[in-house]
Structure 1
Amino acid sequence: MQNFFKGFFQFGYVTRDADAAVAAFRAKFGPVEFMVNEPPAIDGRPAPTRRIALAWIDEVMTEIIEPDPMQRTIYDDHVPALAGPIRLHHFGYLIDDHQAMLHRLRGMGYDVPMAGSMPGVLDYSYADTRRDLGLWSEFIRLEEAGKAFFDAVPRTITGNS
């Protein structure tokens, strides 16, 4: 059986305002460069997020998500009351077989309320692992365009091991 935690690569945070969160993160933790983007529609539906800020810090990606307040999403219960702060929402894992992971998650009794595909880029799913882990788990299978996108995310090397 594959290790559930294999492929960990990301801390996923939620915020009320991506620009304020990135500014607060930099003020507290130093000059980390983020790529901020507005996600396209997924599977023909508006993205549940208005903006996403991404940065690699050494070998771990930091993702700061600004949910679309006009939609009910899995992020809503984690949005901080004020603009600026971030709140941990999920751990992200890179996987090789999205359908096999969906099957495994459901077999473990986890609800997967959000999943989708960006053809040629990636497949993703969020499993509600809160009862066992205290937070959500996101699983991503990258295609070549997705790998290129992740490679384009700015990387800050701290020099710490």
Structure 2
Amino acid sequence: MKRPDLVSPNAGLLGYRQFQMAYVTNDLDRALAILRAQYGIADFTVFSPAPGQPMRIALAWCGETMFEVIDATGMGIDIYDKALPNDFAIRFHHIGLEVADEIQWDRLQASIRAGNHVVDFAGDNDVARFAYVHAPELGHYVEYVLLHEQGRLFFESVAAN
């Protein structure tokens, strides 16, 4: 397989480098046990992004793909928990696309506005600037991530399988 060397944001909203597949669950420990036993992802980096919040996240690199599992039980941010039933589940939630720099971020924002796409959740913290674009035709979200230096260092420290 030969991949192009360059990201192609001129290809539209999906023309950025995909690096992540993300799932949501209502029982992180049970979900990770399944991913370990049935899918061979042995090592995860598990953390809580906001102390005192019930949200926990697990990240794992498998080759060039980062797998993210978000347990938002009781979190109250329905972008994550609305995808889940009351019983245990693991559900695909979003792909993560990396935006390389401020110029690409500005171009992305113009494309989002021009296409009347809905951004359901966005923010900027020590790790990254991010935006979740609702893509109902695709059945999932597309998260755009512009990593800050602290985020690059953190992603480099995530467990590799």
Q: Structure 2 length normalisation: TM-score?
A: 0.82
Q: Deviations over 1:11-36 (max 9, x none)?
A: 11000011111011111112520011
* Conserved? CA contact 1:106–1:112, under 8 Å: no
Q: Distance in 2 between matches of 1:129 and 1:31?
A: 28
* Conserved? CA contact 1:80–1:87, under 8 Å: no
Q: Distance in 2 between matches of 1:81 and 1:20?
A: 15
Equivalent runs, 1:111-130 vs 2, <5 Å:
111-119=118-126, 121-130=127-136
Q: Which amino acid aligns with 1:110?
A: H
* Conserved? CA contact 1:116–1:125, under 8 Å: yes
Unaligned 5+ runs, structure 2: 1-8
Aligned residues: 148
Q: Which amino acid aligns with 1:56?
A: W
Q: Distance in 2 between matches of 1:31 and 1:72?
A: 27
Confirm whether residue 2 of structure 1 aligns to residue 39 of structure 2.
Answer: no
Unaligned 5+ runs, structure 1: 157-161
Q: Structure 1 pair 105/25, CA: closer, same or farther in 2 (3 Å)? A: same
Q: Structure 1 length normalisation: TM-score?
A: 0.82
* Conserved? CA contact 2:24–2:93, under 8 Å: yes
Q: Secondary structure at the match of 1:82?
A: coil
Q: CA RMSD in A?
A: 2.0
